[in-house]
Amino acid sequence: MAVVKKARLGQSDAGARTNGDGLDIERVVSGLRAARGQWRDAQQRSREPGGREFPTREALCEVISGLRAALFPMRLGPADLRQENEDYYVGHTLDRVLHALLAQVRLELRYAVRNRGCSDADLDTQATACVRELALALPEIRLLLDSDVLAAFRGDPAASSVDEVLLCYPGLLAMIHHRIAHRLYRLGAPLVARIIAEQAHSQTGIDIHPGATIGPGFFIDHGTGVVIGETAVIGSNVRLYQAVTLGAKRFDTDDEGRLRGGPRHPVVEDDVVIYAGATILGRVTIGRGSIIGGNVWLTRSVPPGSRIAQASAQDDSAVAQDSAGNAVPSG
């Protein structure tokens, strides 16, 4: 009722402003209503009155903030938290944010299956299972993030402590979001996962699709402009610098010209270093222990131990190519 009254007040206020100052707000409101209706008709959306259909960025911002604090309570939690109260704080925070996350996952699932005839009970069961599995995975996620923190500390001589890495490094913030978002993506909540990933993108300039698979000990130094695509696979102890792109070279389409998924991003094996500005496109493999120099443009696989320089994008040891365009060692 309060919402209805507020809407009516808004209409009255608009009318008053129209008559008083010539801004013609009622006409704008009417035009926006018509534009929304046109879009909803084109997208076959319901015009029935009801609540919000989609997860909200604001709610998920609160969720991810709480999950960050629950994962690292003495560093990312409240300033006055004491160690003897950690478990109580973590439990209280998880109870709050996991229930908030459950509501957002329900919204996504309800929207995704609105034309499939699923009951609310079925959706509640699926949403609860998704959030429960994420909660149970949090200890594992914490261990993965610990390995990321250590990789940054050991890989950057400018890092004075592991605490500095956790508190200051944008790559670590991006990985906190990604480790959570990736699990939600795999559990069947890709829209919620994407919103969480894009929050990190907007804060850090690091764009990691939640579908990307990333092993332990991952370090993004500086970070601005890094792009990692949906089907990228990254091994253990990999280091990337700013403005690196792990992207797709081309997109397959179906008979109607619509884009299809499928593996289309690089596979980066263990212990690889990729320097600033390098672009690697397509489903190519960067072999274990390789070093890809700055500003290299690479669309072919390279074997383990390769050293790829900018000038020719060739291995320093004169790597040749086979008939498929893959690099093979000389001799």
Query: What pLDDT score was predicted for residue 40?
Result: 85
**Would the pLDDT of 304 be above 90?**
yes
- pLDDT tens-digit map of 71-86: 999 999 999 999 999 9
pLDDT grade, residue 174 (50/70/90)?
A: very high
Give the span between the Cα atoms of 139 and 179, in whole angstroms. Answer: 11
CB 304 within 8 A of CB 322: no
The answer, yes or no, to whether residue 15 has pLDDT greater than 90, is no
Q: Which pLDDT does position 115 carry in this prediction?
A: 53
pLDDT tens digit string along 308-325? Answer: 998 655 554 444 444 444
**Which residues touch 267 (CB under 8 Å, ≥6 apart)?**
232, 233, 283, 284, 285, 286
Which residue in this structure is represented by tokens 């690196």? 244
pLDDT at residue 121, rounded to an integer:
77
- pLDDT band of 21, cuts 50, 70, 90: confident
Which pLDDT score is estimated for 122? 85
Q: Which domains does the chain have, with CATH numbers?
A: 54-205 (1.10.3130.10), 225-331 (2.160.10.10)
What mean pLDDT do residues 242-268 have? 86
Q: What is this structure's pTM? A: 0.83
Reported as a single tens digit per residue, the pLDDT across 276-290 is 999 999 999 999 999
The answer to which of 48-52, 166-170, 228-232, 290-294 has the lowest mean pLDDT is: 48-52
5-10 long-range contacts (CB < 8 A, ≥24 apart) are none
In the chain, what percentage of residues exceed pLDDT 90?
A: 73
- The per-residue pLDDT of the chain, averaged, comes to 88
Higher per-residue confidence, 118 vs 94:
94
Centre a 10 Å sphere on the Cβ of residue 151 and count the other Cβ atoms it contains: 23
Per residue in 193-224, pLDDT tens? Answer: 999 999 999 999 999 999 999 999 999 999 99
Q: How many degrees, rounded to 5, is the angle at CA 180 between CA 174 and CA 185?
A: 110
What pLDDT shows up at residue 313? Answer: 57
Residue 117's pLDDT is what? Answer: 57
pLDDT at residue 310 in the model: 82
Q: SS in 3 state form for the chain?
A: CHHHHHHHHHHHHHHHHHHHHCCCHHHHHHHHHHHHHHHHHHCCCCCCCCCCCCCCHHHHHHHHHHHHHHHCHHHHCCCCCCHHHHHHHHHHHHHHHHHHHHHHHHHHHHHHCCCCCCCHHHHHHHHHHHHHHHHHHHHHHHHHHHHHHHHHHHHCCCCCCHHHHHHHCHHHHHHHHHHHHHHHHHCCCHHHHHHHHHHHHHHHCCEECCCCEECCCCEECCCCCCEECCCCEECCCCEECCCCEEECCCCCECCCCCECCCCCCCEECCCCEECCCCEEECCCEECCCCEECCCCEECCCECCCCEECCCCCCECCCCEECCCCCEECCC
Residue 306 above 90 pLDDT?
A: yes
Q: Rounded to an integer, what distance in angstroms lies between the CA atom of residue 269 and that of residue 289? A: 8
Contact at 8 Å (CB) between 176 and 145? yes
When comparing pLDDT for 36 and 321, which is higher? 36
